[in-house]
């Protein structure tokens, strides 16, 4: 029997309600919403609206129009970053970011279009708001941080950063890939301008889904142009929210599954968070009692999401994850698309073994993982 502990990559198993919603979208709702005016297309359009409303409720967005559907977390981040920056802008971000932020910034910097400052995490594995403030320049237009590290799980002080950036009039983008669905997210309380999230991780939706929250008063240029089903007489891209940022046929089956997943998550948020914290704590304690293990995640359960990373003395992370795979346990080894974070942890060569349980795992799954790690070591 497979034990799946790689939910930070994508959640598994998808709930039956998600599978059913995808099937229903492919049958009952199958049409191109926003394009044709027939009953079937209108049913599809209503489904899209309902999903937008569910996501807006989950994130406490002002209105469903503030939610743009994207194809994954990376697409949402590209939409936010490329739609925000102008030539000569300065961006403050962190070494902790995923390549879906770092590579976008570094490519723009390499082309001579923008300047970038990447801040190092402190001893607690976070970057405080004061470091962001100290790095601001007259031309800083955007600050970006992850909500929680995908390597260590450490939750970042996003509310304090949001508060500080609003005071300085700097746009703030949060990468919610490892937070949304695992801990409550209130975009208004966080005072962020943009919040990017995948649909296939904590929200339990299918791959190929994601979204971007855009706060009122945050103008954005479209990162991709094309048909939107609105203002069709114009050869120029409309800037209407949200259609102006969703060019091309939307992934209706994916969005239907995403709505089903997000609704489950919202109904069970507190229970789910408590369970993930308890599972992750059992995992953290078990690993930190092993003499030959180095654990990189914060010790305090409330300081991390459901991610614990470690290495064993003298073993490469891939050899440990490959061994666990032979034991029927799915985790991720190697580098986690976050080279700056591995540099900060000193694991750029070894990578790390990342274990990411979900509320659907059992304590027996964690015991089985710990026993297998002991057998390896
Ligand atoms: C922190 C973080 N940001 C962004 C992404 C990219 O998300 P996606 O794989 O949905 O493009 C990931 C995915 O692992 C992530 O962990």
Q: Which pLDDT score is estimated for 110?
A: 98
Q: CB under 6 Å to ligand 1: residues?
A: 72-74, 98, 100, 146, 150, 175, 177-178, 198, 210
Helix (H) or strand (E) segment spanning residue 330: strand 329-330
Atom 15 of ligand 1, residue of closest alpha carbon: 177
Query: Are 328 and 1 spatial neighbours (Cβ–Cβ below 8 Å)?
Result: yes
- Give start and end residues of each alpha helix (H) in the chain: 16-27, 39-59, 73-84, 99-110, 129-135, 158-168, 252-267, 269-288, 317-326, 339-345, 363-376
Which domains are delineated in the chain?
A: 16-267 (3.40.640.10), 269-376 (3.90.1150.10)
Q: Which pLDDT score is estimated for 359?
A: 95
1 CA distance to ligand 1 middle (Å):
27
Q: Which pLDDT score is estimated for 34?
A: 82
Cβ-Cβ contacts under 8 Å for 178 (sequence gap 6 or more): 8, 146, 147, 148, 149, 150, 153, 201, 202, 305, 307
**In this predicted model, what pLDDT tens digit does every residue of 98-137 receive, in sequence order?**
999 999 999 999 999 999 999 999 988 999 999 999 999 9
Query: Are 85 and 142 spatial neighbours (Cβ–Cβ below 8 Å)?
Result: yes
**In this predicted model, what pLDDT tens digit does every residue of 229-238 receive, in sequence order?**
888 899 999 9
As a whole number of Å, the end-to-end CA separation of the chain is: 22
Mutate which of 7, 9, 74, 181 for ligand 1 pocket (most atoms within 8 A of beta carbon)? 74
Query: Are 116 and 106 spatial neighbours (Cβ–Cβ below 8 Å)?
Result: yes
Q: Is 104 exposed, middle or buried (0-12, 13-18, 19+ CB in 10 A)?
A: buried
**Single pTM value for the model:** 0.97
Find tokens 């060019």 and name the residue: 247
Q: Which pLDDT score is estimated for 232?
A: 87
Cα of 177 vs its chain's centroid, Å: 1
Q: Which pLDDT score is estimated for 237?
A: 92
Q: Which pLDDT score is estimated for 336?
A: 86
* Paired tokens of 32: 């191109």
Atom 12 of ligand 1, residue of closest alpha carbon: 177
177 CA distance to ligand 1 middle (Å):
5
Cβ-Cβ contacts under 8 Å for 316 (sequence gap 6 or more): 333, 350, 351
Number of other CB atoms surrounding residue 180 within 10 Å: 31
Mutate which of 6, 127, 337 for ligand 1 pocket (most atoms within 8 A of beta carbon)? 337
146 CA distance to ligand 1 middle (Å):
10
Q: Which pLDDT score is estimated for 33?
A: 87
Cβ-Cβ contacts under 8 Å for 38 (sequence gap 6 or more): 31
Query: Are 80 and 210 spatial neighbours (Cβ–Cβ below 8 Å)?
Result: no
Instruction: Give CA torsion, residues 354, 71, 117, 140, to 10 deg.
Output: -150
Cα 49 to Cα 65: distance, rounded to the nearest angstrom = 9
Mutate which of 100, 181, 208, 211 for ligand 1 pocket (most atoms within 8 A of beta carbon)? 100
Residue stretches of the chain with pLDDT short of 50: none
Cα 350 to Cα 151: distance, rounded to the nearest angstrom = 13
Cα 136 to Cα 130: distance, rounded to the nearest angstrom = 10
**In this predicted model, what pLDDT tens digit does every residue of 271-300 receive, in sequence order?**
999 999 999 999 999 999 999 999 999 999
Q: Give φ, ψ of 142 to 5 degrees.
A: -145, 135
> Which atom of ligand 1 lies at the shortest distance from residue 210's CA?
10
77 CA distance to ligand 1 middle (Å):
9
């Amino acid at each position: 029997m497979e034990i799946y502990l790689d939910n930070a990559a994508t959640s598994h198993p998808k709930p039956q309600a998600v599978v059913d919603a995808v099937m229903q979208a492919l049958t009952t709702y199958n049409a191109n919403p926003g394009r044709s005016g027939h009953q079937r297309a209108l049913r599809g359009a209503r489904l899209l609206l309902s999903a937008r409303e569910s996501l807006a409720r989950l994130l406490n967005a002002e209105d469903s129009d503030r939610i743009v559907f994207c194809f994954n977390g990376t697409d949402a981040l590209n939409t936010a970053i490329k739609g925000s920056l102008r030539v000569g802008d300065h961006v403050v971000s962190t070494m902790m970011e995923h390549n879906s932020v770092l590579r976008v910034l570094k490519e723009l910097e390499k082309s001579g279009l923008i300047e970038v400052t990447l801040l190092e995490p402190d001893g607690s594995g976070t970057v405080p708001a004061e470091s962001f403030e100290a790095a601001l320049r007259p031309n800083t237009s955007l600050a970006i941080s992850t909500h929680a590290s995908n390597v260590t799980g450490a939750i970042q002080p996003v509310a304090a950063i949001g508060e500080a950036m609003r005071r300085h009039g700097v746009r703030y983008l949060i990468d919610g890939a490892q937070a949304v669905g695992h801990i409550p997210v209130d975009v208004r309380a966080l005072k962020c301008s943009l919040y990017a999230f995948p649909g296939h991780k904590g929200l339990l939706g299918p791959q190929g889904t994601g979204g971007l929250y855009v706060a009122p008063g945050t103008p954005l240029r479209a990162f991709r142009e094309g048909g939107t089903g609105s203002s069709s007489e114009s050869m120029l891209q409309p800037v209407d929210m949200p259609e102006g940022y969703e060019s091309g046929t939307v992934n209706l089956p994916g969005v239907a599954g995403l709505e089903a997943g997000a609704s489950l998550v919202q109904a069970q948020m507190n229970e789910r968070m408590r369970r993930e914290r308890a599972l992750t704590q059992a995992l953290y304690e078990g690993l930190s009692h092993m003499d030959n293990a180095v654990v990189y995640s914060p010790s305090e359960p409330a300081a991390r999401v459901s991610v614990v990373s470690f290495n064993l003395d003298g073993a490469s992370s891939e050899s440990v994850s490959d061994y666990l795979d032979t034991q029927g346990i799915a985790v991720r080894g190697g580098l986690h698309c976050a080279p700056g974070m591995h540099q900060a942890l000193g694991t750029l060569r070894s990578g790390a073994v990342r274990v990411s349980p979900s509320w659907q795992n059992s304590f027996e799954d964690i015991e089985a993982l710990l026993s297998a790690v002991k057998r390896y070591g």
